[in-house]
Chain A
Amino acid sequence: MPRLCENRIDNRHGHAAFRGALRPSSALPGRAGAGYTARMAQGFFTRLAQPGRFMRWSGAALPWIGGLSGVLLLAGLYLSWFVAPADYQQGETVRIMFIHVPAAWLGVFFYGAMAVSALGTLVWRHPLADVAQRAAAPIGAAFTLICLVTGSLWGKPMWGTYWVWDARLTSMLVLLLIYAGLIALWRTIEDPGRAARAVAILTLVGAVNLPIIKFSVNWWSTLHQPASILRMGGPTIHPTMLYPLLVMIAAFSVLGIALHLAAMRTEILRRRVRTLAILEAERLDAPSPAAQAA
């Protein structure tokens, strides 16, 4: 298969999605009158997003981002353990919130990141978008799971049960199920380019559906549990708890970005290894010149 081979060598970083149809985004038909700065910014991000360049800058930035998330996490944990007061009703268990809320935020955030990456995959066929999307799914699923687990650990002393079919809990559970479906679909399709496009379509269909699911679960929950007293948060949060929470949210966000970058780097390296293995197999497979001439 010389054609395939050529394609793969041409595409040194091993992205099968890099087909002939890909044009640099500067060559995309831009709308007349688009702002110069917008084009500049687009050019800047396009350059940053070239896989080779991405590997260089992300490799340099990753220790700093990781370190920053470590510092923020330590500060946030200190604030939430020693500075924030215990709640007058919930006691010490309120501290679970400092893990729970940031995890919930990141679980939702990574789905949004996947939806944006899915657009990048389908519209611009950008190989890095595939990678970003694939790397985001397990991280988002993990944070969603953390949110659910911490929520149910908090629920046992507060509500007297690990699980309540509350609207918010149920929505997060459905989000986890959707993540599971996306990851499963990705693992089923072998070719990374095809898998990326399939998952991108499913991600977007899911993104259209998520608000509908959220709305219907709210409807369902109010229908089944009128006058629910089981509400988190309750009255507006006191500043002594708000600041630790904000620090923790920042820490988790930076941690999420660091994990995402690391996972993207791993995925790029994995694809390079895959491409090298295919090239090597093709080289070993190729018939000798004499046989070809015959």
Chain B
Amino acid sequence: MSDPTAASIVGAPPAHQPTETGGPTDAGLPANGRQEKPRGLLGDAWRDLRRKPLFWISAAFILLFIVMAAFPSLFTSADPTAGELSRSLEKPSGHAWFGYDIQGRDVFARTIYGANASIVVALLSVLGTLLIGGAMGMIAGFRGGWLDALLSRIADVFFGLPFVLGAIVILTTFNGTGTNNSEWEVKGLVIASLVVLSWPVVMRLMRSSVLATKEADYIVAARALGAGTGRIILKHLLPNTLAPILVYGTIMVGSFIGAEATLSFLGVGLKSPVVSWGIIINEAQSLIRVAPHLLFFPAAFLVAAVLSFVMLGEAVREALDPKLR
């Protein structure tokens, strides 16, 4: 009986010791002091993320895809565009892991090389959408009044355009048959059309988030303590409104990889000989009964990439919410 009691008495003092000795020994422990610097939102979110397996798994996959996009030659020595018709529709083998497509091109190499277009287009469009939509939403929500009305109506106009139709119109105008755009110009056009047609969603999300947050007592308190407008927006509003935007952003990466594939599939986005997952899937879908592996492998990569970004989004959202810590 007396043992647990004794243990708890012995166990208690160490917890209190820092309190009693904290003040006087403060100066004597510079090494300890360094560790205890005031931490910010991102510092704490990072500490939290480091403990999550979900984060590490998705981050590893994303890193893999990014390396794949940047240095495809690390993964394969085959040429994704060199076709040899004698190998047309060959099954996967030790030599070509994913087999050959109808034109006798190495599907593994094509899938690896396809990551570049898909991921670059998706990431840059998400970045652009978040920046434009986020800034517009912040201005509209924070300023209010006529500026809010004006920006919201502009957003409504763009929101009213059907996504696929809008992208087709933009891309056939600037990237129609007969135009001779380089690969990067086409990528830029695809990115631009995705951004132009998607920013209103982020803008609305941000605006409502700002509207809900800017009336909060801590924003009023920050004003009452003399914080400037810039500081209030960047330090107090933004961190409290960021979480839904970031989550939406990571989900958007996935859907933009799909959107890029859709536009390529419709023939208005990237075009062969440029390789992207959308183009590969497009070419494979008509052969699905003859050679399902042509569709399966690039589609699996697409799904894995989309899933990784969504999982990362979930992990980031949890880490950014202090109440879940």
The answer to whether A and B come from one shared complex is no
Chain B interface (Cβ < 8 Å from any Cβ of A)? none
Chain A interface (Cβ < 8 Å from any Cβ of B)? none
